[in-house]
């Protein structure tokens, strides 16, 4: 193996040491899960949108993860996918302590 390249596991381990990367990853988690579940169900964005009663563009925006999802909308999408939304609150102090 060429020493100029690192494995995916090494790259991920390195990135997970960066608090900004970890925060960005966490912020996009709902988007990833929606896309993953939609694909597992064999649905297109348009089909999922019809099940939820919205437009395909709304599903696309949700899956891009560029803006925080509205909890009500996310709950409707989750229900259409046979999933549930779980919300967890934690103290900023706990988060900082856990990363230390």
Residue extents of the structural domains in the chain: 8-99
pTM: 0.69
Pairwise CA distance, residues 5 & 82, whole Å: 40
Q: Are 69 and 30 in contact (CB under 8 A)?
A: yes
Select the CATH number that applies to the domain covering 8-99 from these four: 1.10.260.40, 1.10.10.2840, 3.20.20.70, 3.40.50.720. Answer: 1.10.260.40
Sign of CA dihedral 37, 87, 93, 64: positive
What confidence tens digit (pLDDT) does each residue in 1-57 have? 455 788 888 888 898 898 888 777 777 788 989 999 999 999 999 999 999 999 999
């Amino acid at each position: 193996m060429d020493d100029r390249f690192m494995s995916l596991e090494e790259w991920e381990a390195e990135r997970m040491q960066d608090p900004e990367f970890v925060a960005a990853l966490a912020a996009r988690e709902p988007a990833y899960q929606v896309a993953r579940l939609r694909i597992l169900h064999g649905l297109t964005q348009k089909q999922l949108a019809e099940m939820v009663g919205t437009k395909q563009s709304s599903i696309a925006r949700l899956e891009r993860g560029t803006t925080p999802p509205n909890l009500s909308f996310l709950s409707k999408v989750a229900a259409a996918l046979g999933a549930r939304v779980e919300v967890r609150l934690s103290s900023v102090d706990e988060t900082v302590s856990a990363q230390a």
